[in-house]
Structure 1
Amino acid sequence: MRKLVFIALLFTATAVAADQSFTLQECIQFAIKNNPDLRIQNKVVLSKAADVTSSYGNILPNLSFGSAYNRISQAASPKIIQGAVVPQPAGISNNFGAGFSYTQNIYDGGRWRNEIKLAKTNYQSAIYDKNSNRLSLIVTVTEKFYNVLKAQELLKVDQKSLENSQEQLKKTEEMHRIGQVAKKDLYKAQVKQGTERLKVIQQEAELKLALADLKAVLGIRGEEVIDVYESAYQKPVQIDAAIAYQKALEANSDYASLQTQRQSAQIQCKIAKSAWYPNLSSSYSYSRSSSKFSDLYSNFDSRWSSSLRLDISFSLFNGFDRKTKIQQAKLAYQIDDDMIEKKEIEIRNTIQNLVLTLDTYRDMIDINELTIASAEEDLRLAQEMYRLSSATLLEVLDAQVALTKAQSDLISTKYDAKIAEARLSLVMGTLGENQ
């Protein structure tokens, strides 16, 4: 039995420790599924949907049914009638009753209609808020994902640079052994190799931190090992700022949420104004009573009573409550107008900055690719000239540094561009269309 338990635990530990490779889309789906904030937001949307159903209760009729039983026990006691004492025997009396009532709101100044509109608007606002949280999560996952890819690629560059420095050190040692170069070149090669080793160690730590950040966003706990990959890098496309701004006004979740918030304030103003109108309602009730239970459901032409009522009421004065609520609703509506105007300015500025940033990144990618080609050729020539004693080791090391920097710059630019592209898609409202 203990052997079986041990095998089961070993299998579980192995399964947890197994590597998992994720694409960007898989990371996004995984995060959406496991994010607690989105689960909470889903419940908020369901609650707002229930409020819509509940709001119809102000116009729908109210129908109720009731029944009652009353038993009275009385002890024997004398009773004086016209000066004479008349004995009263003990007795028990029963009374059964049943009936129903119906009430209907006829007119309340449009309050019920606007409360239904308000519930629907709040429900739509909850959907926008949920979508906004989902898109923010997608952007965060995208940033963490590309930070991991960037750290992986930079680590490869540093490892390659370390390999080159180790090869150069071997060549320098051999050239020093035969007396072709001075000892100072050997020291320089050793220092270069140590520096590159330190860069690899530092970049490995950066990769671990980037993976930890991604695991936290995905909701992965413990020491589970994950890996990410991208089948092919797609260079960000050029986007016109004016078109992007127009799309943002049509699809940006935060902007749409502010618009529904303004609609809610406008409806609340109408609800507040309904207090200036009279309320009209009607009610009808029917009841039966008898000392015998069986009589409640027979002889329907007797032992019954009914009531039909029409009520109209109007508040003459309520301590300035109506006026104050209307003023507050108007101010809320005006505040929402200002917030929408502020949001439009914010969206325009953000789009302009991100479009300019992406244009710069695209140019930098093209330039860095040319720089890498040039640096590779410079390094090849420097190594060949050093082998022929026509160049110094410092020139070779400088060429290696230039190549490593060009490669690192290209990697950083490529993945920073993808992050900026995701942020622009978030503002435009086009992010997550396929998620």
Structure 2
Amino acid sequence: MTALALGFLGLVTAPGVGLAQATTTMTTVSLEEAIARALKTSPQVAQAAGTVTTTGAAERSAFGAYLPNLSASANTSLASSQRLDPTTGAVFNAPSDTYSAGLSASWNVFTGGQRGATSKQAQARSSAARAGLIAQRASAVLDVERSYYEVLRAGGLEEVAVSRIERAKQNAEAADRRLAVGSATRSDVLRAKYDLTAAQEALLSAQTQHAAAALSLGRLIGEDGPVDAQPLELQDVSTFALTDEALTDEITAQAPSIQAAEADLRAAEASVKVARSSYLPTVRLSGGYDWFNDEPALNGGRTSWSVRMGLSYPIFDGFVREERVVSARTQASVAQATLSDTRRALRSSVGTSLNQLKLASNRIALATESVAVAQEDLKVQQERYKLGATTIIELLTSQENLVTAEINLVASRFDYRIARAELEALAGRPL
């Protein structure tokens, strides 16, 4: 049975077989490359960038309302030289061809403040779109970092499982030797073989998790297949230059979500002014220059010009103005409440992320110490088992303690990185 178990282990871990082969043939990327590719392929980032372009065009259109409108026209007509007067029935001679051209311009002299309010509204919406793009890019980066760290976490669990298998093999061999000399029971051999099988199952589980995480990472960066992650430098904990309170205040003041909510409020307030502008009259200046000729030539012909100025004021429009003002004020109130709630939610999220960072940092320290203690304890138990001074149960318990400590260390390290990535996503920038 020991030979069969060792043979199965060799089949699982041999290069080019099963999940191990899938792992070794993956494309490998660095974290920086993964982030760069994800930002190019993310549909959410593309949509946010399109919103920035659209609002920029609206901002230019709002500025264009200050400029005069200019248009040109040209016409020609052909007819017979003799025509019939439909009233008298008489036939008369008339020019057969006519040509005309015109140039007209108009300019809104006064719009009741509508142009200025519309311009401010467009600028605010453009600012909100830019803040939204920053937030969406930060969200895309967070998704990539999470997936990247999950790939590395699965790789770390594979390493733990491989180490566990090696120790299980040694335990199985030691149990066989002790059984051969009569210093161990058949139960010792069976327990060692069961532990080896469990270790092999843990490796298969870790490899499956690794493959799934690699497929997820590949989708995020625009790859059709799985993508593996390059190992990162071991840096468990890095501190911030600011205190928690100062860091929270800084993130709350500069976070993209806050900037977007503030811009939405400015846009809503500007929409109130746009609605109120309909209570004031509008003054419009227009003019035109026209040319007529019976021949297709620029010389000769007849010309005319005109200049007009008009004032328009809606006295009553069925309470449409009132409805627009009420609706705009309601939107402004909602935007103000949204901004206040966004600030509170952001402070809460930042506080939660900082607490998670502290928790993960403490767990790293405790897990590191636990691994060192468990390794030393396992060495002692292995020597004692070789000498017959302890049982296989105590040896396997020590080994299980080491596996648990190693898994906790792997998990806490990447929990810390993910918590830090979440905090940076809230801030919209690296910290």
> Which category of TM-score, normalised to the shorter sequence, fits these structures?
0.7 to 0.9
What is the percent sequence identity of the aligned residues? Answer: 21
- The answer to whether 1:175 aligns with 2:174 is no
User: 1:5-31, CA deviations, whole angstroms, 9 ceiling, x for partnerless residues?
Assistant: xxxxxxxxxxxx964322211111121
Matched, 1:332 2:335: no
Deviation at 1:95, TM superposition (A): 3.3
Could you tell me which amino acid in structure 2 is paired with residue 289 of structure 1?
F
Partner of 1:27: 34
Q: Distance in 1 between matches of 2:176 and 2:86?
A: 134
Rounded to whole Å, the distance in 2 between the matches of 1:122 and 1:273 is: 19
Would the aligned equivalents of 1:284 and 1:309 in 2 still touch at CA under 8 Å? yes
Measure the CA separation in 2 of the matches of 1:228 and 1:306.
75
2:9 matched residue in structure 1:
none
Please tell me whether Structure 1 or Structure 2 has the larger radius of gyration of its CA atoms: 1
Quick one: distance in 2 between partners of 1:24 and 1:185? 46
Q: What does residue range 351-390 of structure 1 map to in structure 2 within 5 Å?
A: 351-390=350-389
What one-letter code is carried by the residue in structure 2 that aligns with 1:259? E
Q: 1:170 to 1:44 in 2, by over 3 A?
A: same
1:269-348 matched pairs, under 5 angstroms: 269-294=272-297, 296-298=298-300, 303-348=302-347
Asked if residue 149 in structure 1 is aligned to residue 152 in structure 2, the reply is yes
1:297 and 1:116 mapped to 2: Cα distance?
A: 45
Find the partner of 1:242 among 245, 261, 265. 245
Tell me whether 1:51 sits opposite 2:53 in the alignment.
no
Cα offset, 1:77, TM superposition: 6.8
Contact 2:148 2:229 in 1 (8 A): no
Deviation at 1:41, TM superposition (A): 2.8
| DSSP 3-state at the match of 1:73 | coil
Paired residues for 1:118-267 under 5 Å:
118-222=121-225, 226-237=228-239, 240-267=243-270
In the TM superposition, what is the alpha-carbon distance from 1:71 to its structure 2 partner? Answer: 4.2
Distance 1:417 1:275, change over 3 A: same
Moved more, 62-71 or 330-339: 62-71
Q: Which region of structure 1 is more displaced relative to structure 2, 70-79 or 43-52?
A: 70-79
Alignment match of 1:105 (pick from 100, 103, 108) = 108
Query: How far apart are the structure 2 equivalents of 1:424 and 1:76?
Result: 84
CA contact (8 A) 2:217 2:227 kept: no
Q: Cα distance, 1:421 vs. partner?
A: 0.7
Q: CA deviation at 1:66?
A: 2.5
Q: 1:408 to 1:321 in 2, by over 3 A?
A: same
RMSD: 2.4
Partner of 1:8: none
Deviates more, 1:21-30 or 1:42-51: 42-51
Aligned residue number for residue 12 of structure 1: none
> Is this contact kept in 2: 1:236–1:421, CA < 8 A?
no
Once the two structures are superposed, residues 159-200 of structure 1 have per-residue CA deviations (whole angstroms, 9 ceiling, x without a partner) of 101110111110110111011112221111111111111111
The residue type equivalent to 2:72 in the other structure is F
- The DSSP-based 3-state class of the residue aligned with 1:185 is helix
State the distance in 2 between where 1:70 and 1:424 align.
72
Counterpart for residue 349 of structure 1 = 348
Q: Is the 8 A contact 1:386 1:392 kept in 2?
A: yes
Shift in alpha-carbon separation, 1:264–1:169, aligned structure 2, 3 A: same
**C-alpha distance in 1, partners of 2:60/2:305?**
32
Following the alignment from structure 2 to structure 1, what is the Cα–Cα distance between the partners of residues 317 and 92? 57
- Residue 7 of structure 1 corresponds to none
Amino acid at match of 2:39: I
Residues 78 and 62 (structure 1 numbering): CA distance in 2 closer, same or farther, change over 3 Å? closer
| Cα distance, 1:89–1:23 mapped onto 2, change above 3 Å | closer
**Residue pair 1:153, 1:411 contacting (<8 A) in 2 also:** yes
CA displacement 1:200-234 (0-9 Å, x = unmatched):
11111111111111112112114x55343213334
Which TM-score applies when normalising by structure 1? Answer: 0.87
Distance 1:139 1:87, change over 3 A: closer
Unaligned 5+ runs, structure 2: 1-23
Residues 309, 395 of structure 1: alpha-carbon distance in 2 compared, 3 angstrom cutoff: same
> Contact (CA 8 Å) 1:265, 1:332: kept in 2 or not?
yes
Distance 1:182 1:429 in 2: 62
Q: Distance in 2 between matches of 1:415 and 1:231?
A: 12
Distance 1:267 1:56 in 2: 15
Asked if the contact 1:251/1:430 (under 8 Å) is kept, the reply is: no
Conserved 8 A contact 1:148-1:228: no
CA displacement at 1:63 relative to structure 2: 2.1
SS of 2:317 mapped into structure 1: coil
Q: Against the structure 1 CA distance between its residues 310 and 376, is the aligned structure 2 distance closer, same or farther, given a 3 Å change threshold?
A: same
> Cα 1:373–1:111, aligned 2, differ >3 Å: closer, same or farther?
same
Q: Deviations over 1:322-367 (max 9, x none)?
A: 1110111111011011111111111111111211121121111111
Q: Aligned equivalents of 1:342 and 1:96: distance in 2? A: 66
Aligned residues: 407
Residues of 1 paired with 2:290 and 2:423: CA distance?
69
Q: Does the CA-based 8 Å contact 1:22-1:229 persist in structure 2?
A: no
CA contact (8 A) 2:26 2:227 kept: yes
Residue segments in structure 1 that go unaligned for 5+ positions in a row: 1-16
